[in-house]
Amino acid sequence: MSDVKKVVLAYSGGLDTSIILKWLQDEYDCEVVTFTADIGQGEEVEPARAKAQAAGVKEIYIDDMREEFARDFVFPMFRANAMYEGEYRLGTSIARPLIAKRLVEIAQETGADAISHGATGKGNDQVRFELGAYALMPDVKVIAPWREWDLNSREKLMAYAQDHGIEIDFAKQSKKSPYSMDANLLHISYEGDILEDPWNEPEEEMWRWTVSPERAPDEPAYLELTYEKGDIVAIDGKAMSPATVMEYLNRVAGAHGIGRDDLVENRYVGMKSRGCYETPAGAVMLKAHRAMESLTLDRGAAHMKDELMPRYAEMIYNGYWWSPEREMLQAAIDKTQEHVNGTVRVKLYKGNVIIAGRKSESDSLFDESIATFEDDAGAYNQKDAEGFIKLNALRLRIGAKRRK
């Protein structure tokens, strides 16, 4: 007999998690609580309720977490300008700590002694879910079916569904995209099928949020993004919540062919993986945030942020959102954002995010009277540069003399 009496399952209602639900009931002889999160994946989540009820689930959680996801996870991450390996905008990575947090909360609310997820034993998500869960509920038991069962192909999963009377729309499954996909407010990811060969170019039909740059409008779109403490709070003067900002930017930037990436990345578990990503809002947000910081952030703080960013991004990618070191870095990053206030004007054109202007009425460090190429009326004494240069050259001159 299993010592697990109740388990909370991260449940989408799709093929994999529908099978996991039945498998948990049979293999562990336990009660299953389902949790379905709406984090902006663009698909209806309510049908998961009927599927869970049909499977005999009594406690069903379906939560709209779009605002929390944008406000408490994506926006703080982008204050750091986080990019993993210089290219990946961390769309899947940043969603996992939120889901782990809610899994643990539901486990505590329902008295469950275990949680379960549908991540495979080859990927990063198993690490992210479980590191988050252990950080928030140290004694929780984690059940990862992909590390226990032998249903290691879609054919075996389909056969299991048929043998156990699991209601699956087989016609829909046969028409399903051949790619392994993950979607939320920040991105859609694509892996598998022809993408497993890094030489293959993605098919145009694969992309869902963006038009190809070649087919994007011939006229650019201009947007004015208003920042307060490093976060976008309005677009074109209209106040918006974090989730609304991202939904709007995804729609507008996607229509202009912005946000496609084709990457080979280093997974935390050790292998290289090829993935394609659509991140329209993220592409705009990161470019515009850097423009706002260029005007308002002190050079020393800006350069130190850039030195810390790869470590911060790696923490998120590897699943350490809830770690002390990430929280420490976040506090430092948020301190730098106190004066990152103002407006950035962006031009969206055929796959490009172009900075068309930036201004800050109260926090700009750009002093035109000093930077001007015209008469500065004594604001800057050019003769001061001579001593500055000689002092900085002193060690170089001493070294040169020694070499003679």
Question: Residue written as tokens 């004694």?
Answer: 139
Q: What is the maximum span of the chain, computed from C-alpha positions, in angstroms?
A: 86
Residue type, 20: I
The full 3-state SS of the chain, as one line of letters, equals: CCCCCEEEEECCCCHHHHHHHHHHHHHCCCEEEEEEEECCCCCCCCHHHHHHHHCCCCCEEEEECHHHHHHHHHHHHHHCCCCECCCECCCCHHHHHHHHHHHHHHHHHHCCCEEECCCCCCCCHHHHHHHHHHHHCCCCEEECHHHCCCCCCHHHHHHHHHHCCCCCCHHHHHHCCCCEEEECCCCEEEECHHHHCCCCCCCHHHCCCCCCHHHCCCCCEEEEEEEECCEEEEECCEECCHHHHHHHHHHHHHHCCCCEEEEEEECCCCCEEEEEEECHHHHHHHHHHHHHHHHHCCHHHHHHHHHHHHHHHHHHHHCCCCCHHHHHHHHHHHHHHHHCCEEEEEEEECCEEEEEEEECCCCCCCCHHHHCCCCCCCCCCCCHHHHHHHHHHHHHHHHHHHHC
List, by residue number, the catalytic residues. 16, 96, 125, 180
Among 260, 279, 320, 254, which residue's Cα sits nearest to residue 183? Answer: 279
